[in-house]
Structure 1
């Protein structure tokens, strides 16, 4: 992966992005052989295409372990990773993308990368394989989202080849195609083949062999899940500059240089990732951390002496994702919660960063779930939010009465520990009690957003796509997918056919007038149906230890570890 140009880095600095060691060297000091990276992502899986992987922290942890044709850059844009291969749109009656993997590409276990990996990823993410369920067919693959992949008609691939041609359906054109087959989501097909006892993945998936597809789905869904302890290393080969060496509660996730990596070698041979479940304040006090990327004010008693630190508004949308069943079955109940939620007060006390901009990301409470605050479309499309400024107990009381439930109890779940989100729940409880809404803190260390689907909580407090840590991108694919009917990320089980049609059209039409009209319609619909309540751009604290070089803050789903293979720490 090539480093951004110096001109671009200076531009990032002028835009308020924190960077470390860009201009000042540390020639008189020695390079540290291992760098600790503290990030509030939940390390629960290796496969970023599954519901669990996408809603935890795969993009923030494994983007330099599992590479793809593109990765999310520090500004939220999709960046081509030409070390992996090339992807280009070619002429044709239907939208056609030609993918060519690097001839030198090989996994850390010695198996070559191939188009088999693309066929597996497409098949798992397309929604084309289903099985009978209690209420009709259900997907065999637990995909976080089918966005883009469901529009693909076929992937032309000779098993073992480095070339693949992806052809979209004649009636579809997918503008954000660079979000497909990306870092953290392009999985090793040979591992799935071995574990599922399917000799030829491409043949099994192209022919639709029922038994083979089911075995592949069973493995794809959970075979790459992770828990601290002894990992079966044969299941977790790397296609990037780092590979997994170990994963434990005490030592964290240890990444080491991948000896089979064909691109520029990582500048530091060992990165230790400390995730959400680790006592970050303790690790910092032990001098075990060189880079920090966490939610602002989420870790109490965190002393950053010796760090260059800054708190900035991220691309993720801090929000309450609501159930559409249980106490929130009536839409009036969801509206009542939005009426009493003190959105302005929450922004002022918990969401506003120092030196907040007058306009753009982090300038005010967030009025959209799918449009960034610095988008040209933002202001013109979000007028429906005006009636939900928050703290309106009288309106909330009236809405609850209309719902026929004058008193409700709302359990708000989130991943602990998180001091800022605990304060958010406390402020919600205080603001809403006068309306007859009792808010309970249901945060837990083992919390997952699937608890909303299971009815164990009534709302999830998290960032875009229910992620506890780094989140968001310019493409907004995860944000829109999280509200699509049937999407794995739709934990609240919201379903609206018109919203789905709008997002389909947004992904295919780049006419500015059409886009504005569609976004306005979508926002009006979402504020009326209230599947979630946007609060503010999630504030992030990014810190680099003294002597750190090439550290560049990433305020997106990829986090600041997006270029960890370029990090150098000298002391």
Structure 2
């Protein structure tokens, strides 16, 4: 068991037994390889990039690329003390001391170092820009990293001191330098031909900065059968052995891992696009973690199967240009979307609870249903609870937009999302709005920014699969101007100011006021339309031990190194 998580995992295991979500069996023969079906896509190794974040790198590589923290099964940040320690230092200026494990080494034999932190901060700080003013690094977001003034690091050292800007505090600092986002700086140094990344980034050579950014942006892109494994070293209990369309993503025990060895030496990740029904019939799956109702014909006989509400928010992210440039058209569309009917038909995870995740349609953009603040801010959604065709018709007439056509894109095939689009199309037809299903097997959220679609149907931050966390950092960042996750191009200075203040606010009354203002603003501007907490089907095969459901961005593979399958 990971040293830093023994107590937590024991508590979670006890809780999961009561909820029926912990798999266990007393079989005699351990299976040497476990198949893991998860509806993320394997597109980038770099979870801090826009491509990595929107494809689901955190759900695949959390135990391959480790960090100081990882997302636990309830969406909370958990310290990974095998990697190192992070300690906030008392003082007027927020300062965090990081110390990497002295034994830490990548699978290629290169020691982990503070260079990795400098690279992460530099890439996500927003400090490096192109001549046209745009960001040099295609970072998913700059949340928290933009508040850091400097990272004190002697190249190659195990120690780093992170100093935040004077007057700024970033309360969710444990979301920084995390699993699947702390990338190997030495690989970048080798690729661009410099002794160390720290010196290169501290220097004034703009052309060199651009080369570093180019590799960070695209050097870790993953295509089946085309990996140069020397560029994909591991800092966790598993490393990549191979990646192909026919054999999946094969992870094997990392021989250089300094922590507890993984219980099972081989995990085969079957990502989005796999014929899951066929794999189930072949008895090739031990763990399944997919959107509920997303796969037609999937039979999980013999599995301990549960459908649970996740921390991912099923939502429509709307463009703010093209057909949706007038806010009145966005309002008309929101008024004809049958949010209550969608929840009743497609959004329930069993019998809904009276409150909390999955209790009903999601009536907030950035505040989660189990938050103490949710009941106070949810009232702004009242005009959009169910399809109001007369109101939608009136809004459309006021916009003088004629009879618009809305193209809704999502990663296909996905039976539940196809049904969602069909229900919206049927409802909005009455208001003179044509809704077109633009789902595609190669769909990415960036198609919204490119103008190829008008809306994206997905989870938090447009993720196709596992999404969400208790901190909600991605949800806030996905609507912030200039963020890589802001695929709809929403820009509102007041919203950005609110998020900045919330990141360091400790007064609950002020927090409530800010969240109320944010939700009122977002329901007025409608950069997105929240639908419901995405239901997830999580199943463990007979004989599975130590499986704990993780309906968050880290997925159920958050502790895959502890899995044991006995048959």
CA contact 2:337–2:428 (8 Å) conserved in 1: yes
* The one of 477, 492, 496 aligned to 1:496: 492
Aligned to 2:108: 109
Aligned residue runs from structure 1 range 399-478, under 5 A:
399-478=395-474
d(CA) in 2 for partners of 1:504, 1:108: 38
1:58 positional shift: 0.4
Aligned to 1:49: 48
1:13 positional shift: 4.1
d(CA) in 1 for partners of 2:292, 2:407: 23
Aligned residue runs from structure 1 range 474-553, under 5 A:
474-553=470-549
1:5 positional shift: 4.3
Aligned residue runs from structure 1 range 19-168, under 5 A:
19-21=22-24, 24-26=25-27, 29-133=28-132, 137-168=133-164
- Report the number of matched residues: 563
Aligned to 1:265: 261
d(CA) in 2 for partners of 1:5, 1:416: 35
Alignment CA distance shift 1:5-1:557 (3 Å): closer
d(CA) in 2 for partners of 1:52, 1:109: 25
SS of 1:474 mapped into structure 2: coil
SS of 2:117 mapped into structure 1: helix
Aligned to 2:364: 368
Structure 2 gap ranges (5+): none
Aligned to 2:381: 385
TM-score (norm: length of structure 1): 0.98
CA contact 1:114–1:161 (8 Å) conserved in 2: yes
d(CA) in 2 for partners of 1:70, 1:544: 25
Per-residue CA deviation, residues 422-451 of structure 1 (Å, 9 max, x unaligned), is: 000000000000101100000000000000
1:17 positional shift: 6.3
Alignment CA distance shift 1:17-1:528 (3 Å): farther
SS of 1:160 mapped into structure 2: coil
d(CA) in 2 for partners of 1:349, 1:505: 38
d(CA) in 2 for partners of 1:298, 1:244: 28
d(CA) in 2 for partners of 1:323, 1:390: 22
CA contact 2:26–2:566 (8 Å) conserved in 1: no
Aligned to 2:10: 6
1:381 positional shift: 1.1
SS of 1:310 mapped into structure 2: strand
d(CA) in 2 for partners of 1:17, 1:87: 34
SS of 2:294 mapped into structure 1: coil
Aligned to 1:205: 201
Per-residue CA deviation, residues 501-539 of structure 1 (Å, 9 max, x unaligned), is: 001111001211011100000000000000000000000
CA contact 2:89–2:96 (8 Å) conserved in 1: yes
TM-score (norm: length of structure 2): 0.98
Per-residue CA deviation, residues 480-518 of structure 1 (Å, 9 max, x unaligned), is: 000000000000000000000001111001211011100
SS of 2:483 mapped into structure 1: coil
d(CA) in 1 for partners of 2:63, 2:348: 31
d(CA) in 1 for partners of 2:408, 2:204: 42
d(CA) in 2 for partners of 1:476, 1:413: 24
SS of 1:55 mapped into structure 2: helix
Alignment CA distance shift 1:7-1:223 (3 Å): closer
SS of 1:428 mapped into structure 2: helix
CA contact 1:230–1:246 (8 Å) conserved in 2: no
CA contact 1:17–1:552 (8 Å) conserved in 2: no
SS of 1:537 mapped into structure 2: strand
1:353 positional shift: 1.6
Aligned to 2:296: 300
CA contact 1:44–1:52 (8 Å) conserved in 2: yes
1:390 positional shift: 2.4
SS of 1:479 mapped into structure 2: helix
d(CA) in 1 for partners of 2:12, 2:535: 23
SS of 1:522 mapped into structure 2: helix
d(CA) in 1 for partners of 2:413, 2:147: 39
CA contact 1:397–1:406 (8 Å) conserved in 2: no
Alignment CA distance shift 1:216-1:532 (3 Å): same
1:7 positional shift: 3.5
